Amino acid sequence: MYAGAAAAAGPPRRDFISVTLGPEEAVGGGSYNNSKAWRRRSCWRKWKQLSRLQRSVILFLLAFLAVCGVISYTSMGEAWKSITNKSLDEQRTEQEIPGLKLANPAVLPAPRKADANHGDYPELSLQKPPKPPHVRRGPSNLQIKAPRRDVRLKTQHDTIRAIEELVEADKVEKTEKSIISWRGAVIEPDQSTEPPSSKIKEPEKPSSVAAEDQKEPVPINERQLAVIEAFRHAWKGYKDFAWGHDELKPLSKSYSEWFGLGLTLIDALDTMWIFGLKEEFEEARKWVANDLVFDKNVDVNLFESTIRILGGLLSTYHLSGDSLFLEKAKDIGNRLMPAFKTPSKIPYSDVNIGRGTAHPPRWTSDSTVAEVTSIQLEFRELSRLTGDEKFQKAVDEVMKHVHTLSGKNDGLVPMFINTNSGQFTHLGVYTLGARADSYYEYLLKQWIQGGKKENELLEDYMRAIEGVKKHLLKRSEPKKLTFVGELAHGHFSAKMDHLVCFLPGTLALGAHNGLAADHMKLAEALIETCYQMYAQVETGLSPEIVHFNLHAQKGHKDVEIKPADRHNLLRPETVESLFYMYRFTGDKKYQDWGWEILQNFNRYTRVPTGGYTSINNVQNPSNPEPRDKMESFFLGETLKYMFLLFSDDIDLINLDKYIFNTEAHPLPIWVPA
Ligand code: DMJ
């Protein structure tokens, strides 16, 4: 601006801060006096000469700088702490298993073990940390808390109403609407959990009880709503025709009894909690409070009642914080203990929970290997919660004993074990399917549950996967699908149970926890195979067992089905693995595959009057031959994993904080002391 224009414009606008200096300072004159008193006086004089606006601005700037200072000091401290923790954990792991680097250390770094000695892992390869598919929102400490109880219940109520409205609206016209989910189920432990081995004194609190905060609600999407709708349909059948009994027979509108303990209801408790189905949950809770009685002269299978009843009660206790469920868990846990009174301490398969007696099946003194090695997560957690070590001691002894046994083939175990001698029987047959499956699953999961310190478990797991690769993996024709077959006395069979489809999820979980990267590659190949076991079949539903073609034949698919194997029991294993794969990769194709499966369950197994049924013939879409039975795991596992698969919220049962038992009941991962 030129001078004339400036004059014409009147006095200049002061939109800057000017500091007027006194005459002495302005000319740099006056005698130099640096005494403290003089400096103080002179500063004060200058301060007084400033306008009020100038003083405010300076004060504001000073305050702002102070706040910035405090913030950066705190976050540097946090960063420093996490760097220190991480390197401690890395040191520990490197010491225990040379060459193995955990991509995702235990929830907190575990203490070093002086005697850790696992030098024989030449094949373990280093792994880059897996890339998380989802970006966390907000600071992590805001994401691990549960809502306050009063808030939670209210929001849940609103949500249920919203769900109902939306489902209704959805029927009329397909809308793009989504609703805010009830986050009450998404409860992360906000306190350390300690392993029982660290000298139990006080009973533990559930993960959720002291939780206070809540992160941003994540909307429930349309696919999740469809799962809730399926659950409600199944629940309607159970409620109308089988309430309080073990399983619904949806066609005959009646029920079947296995143990007479309301198996479906107990298996479904935590599913209802996670889905936010408050009314259903409260009604079921009432039944547990008033009608669930374990003092009954009834034989139960140790494994089945542990994974479904004990596991279901423990996880519901953790999610809800309601001590009723812990009391019931203690009761059934104590009643199952007689099973361990055997000459070898390998438990019997059956227990009479009223009489306190246990026995093997009538025809043998053998137990199934998967059964005696897949009760550990639950009994160990029961010890941690009650302060009573006996539960953990009993199941740990089984694992330690099995660890030392001969008769394994490169880590693969036979299917039977004798309760007198404690030795494997029926040697020479190896499968990842029925009777052995969850042995492998629980090796990894116990290791994770205990804070990644129990090296024998990891060692057995890693060896077993090497055994799978060496003896059981083959590729089919024409699509070259990687599958897990069986070995019988040196003879390979291209037979794979649907049950084996737990394996991709377990492998992915191991890789997520820092195990070899090639486990993830194998998981990706196997989940494709499990999906094809559905996709290549006429109904889009997998049979119980498939045989893979090893040689290309014109007009033949990879998957062959024998007449005796073509039933579908509404099993969860494939959707379970799809859930893990989606969580760890973020690849939407896994959600799409799960969606196809849900639609086919709706198409071929849904009974109009309520409930879903297992079917006898997955190859006949016009008559899939309903079997008139809804297994409890359909509600406990299959629909729960579907719901989690369709969710984009990694904190909806965060896999770094929870470990699922083999019946899909989440239990907390212990934080090492
Ligand atoms: C469930 O009871 C459990 O998943 C178990 O590990 C295997 N069988 C059924 C589901 O298929």
- The response to whether residue 662 sits with its C-beta less than 6 Å from ligand 1 reads yes
> Residue 29: its pLDDT value, please?
32
Rounded Cα distance between 163 and 667, Å, is 27
Is residue 644 domain-resident? yes
Q: Whose CA is nearest to atom 1 of ligand 1?
A: 663
Q: What is the pLDDT of residue 65?
A: 77
| Sign, CA torsion 211/214/218/224 | positive
Number of domains in the chain: 1
Q: Which position among 371, 437, 441, 460 bears the catalytic label?
A: 437
637 is catalytic: no
370 Cα nearest atom in ligand 1: 6
145: in domain: no
Tokens coding 184: 């009450």
In a domain, 317, yes or no: no
What is the mean pLDDT for each group of 10 consecutive residues in the chain (673 residues)? 34 33 33 44 62 76 70 45 36 36 33 31 32 32 28 37 44 35 29 51 54 71 98 99 99 98 99 98 98 98 98 98 98 99 98 98 97 99 98 98 98 98 98 98 98 98 98 98 98 98 99 98 98 98 98 96 98 99 98 99 98 98 98 99 98 97 98 58
Q: Is 449 in the pocket of ligand 1 (CB under 6 A)?
A: no
Active site residue 304: yes
Return the half-sphere exposure (C-beta side, CA atoms, 13 A cut-off) of residue 669.
25
Interval between CA 308 and ligand 1 midpoint (Å): 9
Q: CA–CA separation, 646 vs 224, rounded Å?
A: 6
Nearest to 378 by CA among 352, 339, 404: 339
Strand partners, 429: 488
Q: Is the CB of 571 under 6 A from ligand 1?
A: yes
| 359 domain-assigned | no
Q: What's at 630, amino acid-wise?
A: M
CB within 8 A of 434, min separation 6: which ones? 370, 415, 497, 499
Q: Which two tokens stand for residue 91?
A: 């040191």
Inside any domain, residue 152: no
CATH number at 551 reads: 1.50.10.10
Residue 625 belongs to some domain of the structure: yes
Count of other CB atoms within 10 angstroms of residue 178? 15
Omega within 30 of 0 (cis) for the link into 478: yes
Position 269 in a domain: no
Q: How far is CA 256 from CA 253, 351, 615, 632, in A?
A: 10, 20, 16, 11
In a domain, residue 203? The reply is no
Name the nearest CA neighbour of 466 among 93, 124, 129, 126: 124
**HEC states along 600-651?**
HHHHHCECCCCCECCECCCCCCCCCCECCCECHHHHHHHHHHHHHHHCCCCC
For residue 644, with 0-12 CB atoms within 10 Å meaning exposed, 13-18 middle and 19 or more buried, which class applies? buried
* Nearest by Cα to 440 from 340, 510, 491: 510
Residue 583 structural domain: 224-259+364-667
Active-site entry in 188, 441, 459, 544: 544
Is residue 565 annotated as a catalytic residue, yes or no?
A: no
Asked if 548 contacts 559 with a C-beta cutoff of 8 angstroms, the reply is: yes
Any binding-site annotation on 662? yes
Q: What is the largest CA-CA distance in the chain?
A: 114
Q: Does the CB atom of residue 438 touch ligand 1 within 6 A?
A: yes
Whether residue 573 lies in the annotated active site = yes
